Amino acid sequence: VREFEERLAEASDRAHALAFCNATSALIAGMKASGIGGGDEVIVPSFTHSADPNSVAAAGATPAFADVDEGSLCLSVETIGRALTERTKAILFVSLYGNVSRLEDIVMYAREHSLLLINDCAPALYGSYKGRSIASYGDFSVLSFFADKTITTGEGGMLLSDDTALIEESSIYKHDGRRERGHDLIERVGYNFRMTEMQAAIGVAQLGRIDEFIARKKENQEAYVERLTDLPEVSVFRFNPESDPVPHRTLIFVPEAAPLIEHMTSNGIGVRTTFMPMHSQPCYQTGEVFPVTEKLHSTGVCLPSAPALTVDQIDFICHTIRSFYASRGTAC
State residue 332's pLDDT score.
37
DSSP 41: E
116-139 average pLDDT score? 97
Sort strands 41-45 and 88-94 into parallel, antiparallel or unpaired: parallel
145-166 tens-digit pLDDT: 999 999 999 999 999 999 999 9
Amino acid at 227: R
Q: Rounded CA gap, 312 and 284, in Å? A: 42
Nearest C-alpha neighbor of 139 from the set 115, 123, 157, 161: 161
Q: Rounded CA gap, 200 and 76, in Å? A: 34
Give, in order, the Cα–Cα distances in Å from 174 to each of 27, 159, 202: 11, 11, 21
State residue 180's pLDDT score.
78
278-298 average pLDDT score? 97
Contact in structure between 148 and 61 (CB atoms under 8 Å): no
Q: Rounded CA gap, 300 and 303, in Å? A: 10
Contact in structure between 255 and 301 (CB atoms under 8 Å): no
The residues that bridge with 301 in the sheet, in sequence order, are 252, 273
Report the predicted TM-score, pTM, of the whole model to 2 decimal places: 0.95
193-216 average pLDDT score? 97
Taking 90 as the threshold, does the pLDDT of residue 181 lie above it? no
211-244 tens-digit pLDDT: 999 999 999 999 999 999 999 999 999 999 999 9
Measured in degrees and rounded to the nearest 5, phi and psi for residue 118 equal: -105, 135
The band of 109, judged by pLDDT with boundaries at 50, 70 and 90, is very high
Taking 90 as the threshold, does the pLDDT of residue 131 lie above it? yes
Q: Rounded CA gap, 327 and 332, in Å? A: 9
State residue 179's pLDDT score.
84
303-315 tens-digit pLDDT: 999 999 999 999 9
Amino acid at 56: V
Nearest C-alpha neighbor of 275 from the set 17, 45, 42: 45
Q: How many CB atoms lie within 10 A of CB 92?
A: 28
SS3 56: helix
4-37 tens-digit pLDDT: 999 999 999 999 999 999 999 999 999 999 999 9
Sort strands 128-129 and 157-161 into parallel, antiparallel or unpaired: unpaired
Q: Rounded CA gap, 39 and 23, in Å? A: 24
Distance between start and end Cα atoms, the chain: 53
Contact in structure between 159 and 22 (CB atoms under 8 Å): no
